[in-house]
Structure 1
Amino acid sequence: MLDKRQFYIEGKWVAPENARELPVIDPSTEQPCAVISIGDAAHADRAVKAARQALETWSVTEPADRLQRVERLLDIYERRAAEMARMISMEMGAPIDMALSDHVGAGAYHIRNFIAAFREFRFERPLGPHAPDDRILMEPIGVAGLITPWNWPMNQVALKVVPALLAGCTTVLKPSEIAPLSSMLFAEYVDEAGFPKGVFNLVNGDGIGVGARLSSHPDVDMISFTGSTRAGIAISKAAADTLKRVALELGGKGANLIFADADANAVKRGVLHCFKNTGQSCNAPTRMLVERAIYERVVDEARVIAERVCVDAAHAPGKHMGPLASEAQFLKVQEMIEKGIGEGARLVAGGLGRPEGHATGYFVRPTVFADVNNQMALAREEIFGPVLSILPFDSEEEAIAIANDTPYGLANYVQSTDGEKRNRVAGRLRSGMVEMNGRPRGPGSPFGGIKASGRAREGGVWGIEEFLEVKAVSGWAGSTGTHQ
């Protein structure tokens, strides 16, 4: 069992005083794989103090120097990718091949995109030709508290830590206590890359202790949080007294609109996307809205696809679905499946209990419900598991109305070979992102939502600007339009 009881504060690993121990559970075996320390407000204070002291010099370093250090971090990250994949697979249950390609790959992808965006980034900008002596200066917001989730650990660490460091902020990272091992390994990468002491700090803890203290700390200028809507609301309230910036990336209940003229792979694409990462993605297309003319065919196709999904341990190689990340998540998904059955939805694949051959581990059956309506809990609550709900619609207007009838607004999906229809529907869907016909968003595209999904934008130029303040200056001498 790994001993990971130290925190990374002010450029060194330190043994925290008065911290309680917490086992990290391997979800494939339900056995402890590591032990960490759970910090408290005092540990958060120590990390914030280190970040505040480092801010004075880091915030005024040359952008080229910050870029060089992040480029070095990327080199280390890629060189030690296999090590990171093992940590992610062990702590949150992503199958090892997927952990390497998708989880570790996502972190590298975002770091590369930030590097590309930063090379063209301007911290000094002209207001416009009408005001030649005015300048807009982009300046680091200060100390950033970063709270990341367990479902896509390196995806979210990269989307927060890297732009904050490039912007000139100093940071305190609190990863999820369920999946902290990958973030602790990331701290090793930061240390090896040679960032000045105090620029990056890591304290393990829970939301009540470290999370709440970072959210209310007067020396923390910004909180960037990814997690549940409930926790995002609590963080916003805790941050209000100190008027800090709060960037929230929260839950989702994505609608996938499949029109009768959708391409032949649309259903398979939608089902497998819903089940990816064992359904533990906030942008998963969990509501499949199907035009009635093809409804029964789609329901049967979804059933066949779900029944072919293989479930196995995260440590086994191959393309399969791993366990859920924790016992709490396992119990929640079981509860939602039971609720769907009780609401009268038609269960066409999967259902309650573990898959055959898995008596232990947080494994669940890939599940599909048909004849769902938008008033059922299946359609309104974020399940965060491999549970797909299929709903019929009769017209474009009805499909849009059903899709928008949700507290969330993160990602929606449109499947149609009619380009004008796709564009028209995308313009009316109330969400921060829309993906159409399986085409992924491009490098540097901003990730984020509206409504109960939060209003942060992560990735590319938008992700860097989240960590910057805007200063307007008149009477500027010269007109160089400085790059970086």
Structure 2
Amino acid sequence: MRDHRKFYIGGQWVAPATAQTFEVVNPATEQICGTVAAGSAQDVDRAVAAARAAFGSWSATTVAERLTLLRAIAAEYDRRRGDLAAALTEEMGAPAALAGGFQVDLVAGHLDTACTVLENFAFTEELGGSMVAKEPIGVCAMITPWNWPLSLIAVKVFPALATGCTMILKPSEKSPFSGQIFAEVLAAAGVPPGVFNLIHGDGPGVGVPLSAHPDIDMISFTGSVRAGIDIARTAAPTVKRVSQELGGKSPNILLDDADFADNVAKGVVSMMGNSGQTCSAPSRMLVPAGRMSEAAAAARAAAEQITVGDPTGEVAMGPVVSGAQFDKVQALIQKGIDEGATLVTGGTGRPEGLDVGFYVKPTVFADVTNDMTVAREEIFGPVLTILGYDDIDHAIAIANDTEYGLAGFVAGADLDQARAVARRIRAGSVSINDGFDFACPFGGYRKSGNGREWGASGFDEYLETKAILGYAPTDASS
């Protein structure tokens, strides 16, 4: 049983202002697996004061000094990989192979990228006789979700550290253990007091005070559209910068070629990864209408090969994160059935033999139309919808007929055609044939958000731009 009743503020593990706590439930067992202190506005005030006090000295550090710290963090992080993976499995049900593999590896990749970007980042630029300088924005608040808890902390904290900002992190109350260990990593690596601070808690207790605080210069949030709107509203009176990465309902356009069946199978596996709890998941598979039956058969075969069960074992898929999430996914699966989509495999209820734990059957719907609820709402569970298109123009129209715009996918052997299709998808990132790049920006159009993370673009979120005119005046007589 984990017990975390202190916050990391000003370089020390300190008792919270109140004795309130919340319990963390292991989604595989439905049993309480830990207790974490619940923060309050008083804790926020204390953390903000610590971050504000540290900003002057940290913002004045050199690139070399910040690189040294990031590399010390990398070494300490590598030492704690096993602890972090175990925490991810326990708190949010990530299978051991995923937790100890991609979930942990993503953070290392983002850290390595931050170091590379920092080594080459132009914080100043001369324009004629003027100087344009990029300076740290100040004290930053970071509110992160439960589905990829470590990597979504990393893409905020590492750029903020690299650019000279100070910060307060609030991890999700559903998956706080990995955030706790992350704070331990930074403390052990020698992050100066007050530069990084951690407060556990929920939205009303900590998120709202962070969003409203007049001494916070910027807030970075990843989570639901509803929460993002609330944060933006709360932050508006203080005119702080708000960077958001929100929901998605991403299209996966499969081109009509010889690789079709393989691409269907890949799309299924990608959708079911992390129990479908990925904001950029390829949840809408678009296939040529004349190949719908073939797509359904290939999807069924792939989905039924996915092993579901105890995430500490050798399975491909564990539970969803909570009872509330389980109920939401079950209701949306039933909605798909009620609205007339063809249930190819899966459906409501737990998989056979799994009577305890928030397990969902890998579910595939075919013959879906884009007006159905399962095609429009972000389900955030292992549910794939397959929609038919008549031609490429029709596919693009379906892909872009959404209030979201986080990601898109194109799969096909004709690279020129795939590139042309990718350019027409209205989304913040589009992957052709499983392309992946740590250096490229990640973020959304429309209701999927308004900021960018990853790579050099992630640095820009934490910087203000200053123009210094007359910096190098020219000689008027020459």
State whether TM-score is above 0.5. yes
CA distance in 2, matches of 1:261, 1:295: 14
CA distance in 2, matches of 1:15, 1:478: 55
CA contact (8 A) 1:72 1:193 kept: yes
* 1:277 paired to 2:274: yes
- 1:292 offset after TM fit, Å? 1.8
Deviations 1:197-244 (A, max 9, x none): 000000011111200111110000000000001111111111110000
CA contact (8 A) 1:409 1:431 kept: yes
SS of equivalent residue, structure 2 residue 269: helix
TM-score, length basis structure 2? 0.97
Deviations 1:136-182 (A, max 9, x none): 10100000000001000111111001100111000000000000110
- 1:407 offset after TM fit, Å? 0.3
Aligned to 2:290: 293
SS of equivalent residue, structure 1 residue 323: coil
CA contact (8 A) 1:19 1:40 kept: no
Aligned to 2:438: 443
CA distance in 2, matches of 1:372, 1:27: 30
Match of 1:385 among 381, 387, 391: 381
* 1:417 paired to 2:413: yes
- 1:319 offset after TM fit, Å? 4.1
Match of 2:137 among 141, 146, 167: 141
Aligned to 2:98: 98
- 1:460 offset after TM fit, Å? 0.9
* 1:363 paired to 2:359: yes
- Runs of 5+ unmatched residues, structure 2: none
Deviations 1:421-473 (A, max 9, x none): 21221111100011112222x23111111101002111111111110000011
CA contact (8 A) 2:38 2:200 kept: yes
Aligned to 1:472: 467
CA distance in 1, matches of 2:217, 2:106: 27
Farther-moved stretch of structure 1 (53-62 vs 218-227)? 53-62
SS of equivalent residue, structure 1 residue 240: helix
CA contact (8 A) 1:19 1:39 kept: no
Aligned to 1:328: 324
CA distance in 1, matches of 2:370, 2:169: 38
SS of equivalent residue, structure 1 residue 241: helix
CA distance in 2, matches of 1:77, 1:206: 26
Deviations 1:322-348 (A, max 9, x none): 000111111110010011111111101
- 1:419 offset after TM fit, Å? 2.3
Q: Which amino acid aligns with 1:456?
A: G
SS of equivalent residue, structure 1 residue 225: strand
CA distance in 2, matches of 1:49, 1:438: 44
Aligned to 2:63: 63
With over 3 angstroms needed to count, the CA separation of the structure-2 counterparts of 1:319 and 1:359, relative to structure 1, is closer
CA distance in 1, matches of 2:245, 2:258: 30
Identity value in percent: 50
- 1:478 offset after TM fit, Å? 9.4
Matches within 5 A, 1:230-241: 230-241=226-237
SS of equivalent residue, structure 2 residue 378: coil
CA distance in 1, matches of 2:416, 2:258: 13
CA contact (8 A) 2:308 2:315 kept: no
Aligned to 1:482: none
Matches within 5 A, 1:75-154: 75-127=75-127, 131=128, 133-154=129-150
- Runs of 5+ unmatched residues, structure 1: 480-484
Q: Which amino acid aligns with 1:274?
A: M
CA contact (8 A) 1:260 1:293 kept: no
Equivalenced residues, count: 473
- 1:477 offset after TM fit, Å? 4.2
CA distance in 2, matches of 1:410, 1:218: 30
Aligned to 2:153: 157
CA RMSD for the aligned pairs?
Answer: 1.2
CA distance in 2, matches of 1:40, 1:478: 52
CA distance in 2, matches of 1:17, 1:328: 29
Matches within 5 A, 1:223-262: 223-261=219-257
CA contact (8 A) 1:262 1:415 kept: no
